[in-house]
Amino acid sequence: MIVTTQRPTLSHGESSPASLLRHTAIQTQRLLLRWSRNPVALLETLIIPCLLLLMLDIVIGNQIAKFSGTDALYGSVPMVAVVGALSGAVASGVMLGRERDAGLLARFWVLPVHRSSGLIARILAEGCRILLGTIVVLVVGHALGFRFHQGFLAALLFVVIPVLFGLAFATMVTAVAVFTAKATLVEGITILTSLLMFFSTGFVPLIAFPQWIQPVVRNQPMSVAVDTMKALSLGGPLAHPLTMTFVWSIGGVIVFSVPAVIGYRRASRR
């Protein structure tokens, strides 16, 4: 009797493209479920941005409208959507640091799981979180009087801008979270987001700032994203802020993606 042995195929091994898709989907679902059950993540992503938008509209909305001649919502809604994306990324970075300290990343590393699925899943989960937060902010803004005046395609690109900008920022937070053992350093990034918010064209019009600081305010990352979203919703110059938004976002991904990948692999092997 002749016995034939069939060499096992590697098409469905842990390093195969099919495993990458399957494992990425599972880990993305895991992250989204964990974030949905985390009060801090929900606060940073959904509740605080909506409360911030309400506060801005009530406290300084009328003053800005009288000063600039346009509804302040066309600056505050984009700014709050971007702030929600950034603050949620900080909360996700803190949770990533805790998973590393608890040894969860190391457990995934020794399991038959595709090596790239963990980091890719975090990117996809961040995109879903930012998209949901942006939609919630838009719903609240619509209730306050915010409207799109540039058509469907402009509205679609409006929603994409916070996702793109937030993913670039999340890449930076991930790089910091996997290299440092102190969550306070990740949380300290909140100071940076606060400075970006208060010195942006979404908080008050550019002409309200002193002339010597206007070039900095006009070209800083949050301002160009806000100006792009304002042009997509209300109208106005689009080419310069849109170009600068892509430059800041793509540049951030390029600069911090390599440290994030190296740090994530190092943290997973501990």
Q: Quick one: which of 163, 131, 142, 132 has its CA closest to 228?
A: 163
Query: What is the C-alpha to C-alpha distance for residues 100 and 108, in angstroms, rounded to an integer?
Result: 11
Q: How far apart are CA 270 and CA 257, in angstroms?
A: 20
Distances (CA, A) of 32 to 29, 92, 126, 217: 5, 11, 9, 34
Give dist(CA 189, CA 256) in Å, integer: 15
User: What proportion of the chain, given as a percentage, has pLDDT over 90?
Assistant: 43
Of the chain, the percentage scoring pLDDT greater than 70 comes to 91
pLDDT at 186: 63
Quick check: 56 pLDDT over 80?
yes
Range ranked top by mean pLDDT from 35-49, 72-86, 109-123: 72-86
pTM for this model (two decimals): 0.87
Query: Measured between alpha carbons, how far is residue 204 from residues 15, 42, 78, 251 in Å?
Result: 51, 27, 12, 26
pLDDT in tens, 137-171: 999 999 999 999 999 999 999 999 999 999 999 88
Q: H helices within the chain, ranges in order?
A: 17-36, 39-42, 48-59, 61-68, 73-101, 104-110, 117-144, 152-179, 183-187, 189-198, 214-219, 221-233, 239-268
Rounded average pLDDT over 104-109: 78
Q: Are 89 and 215 in contact (CB under 8 A)?
A: no
Residue 2 in this model has a pLDDT that exceeds 50: no
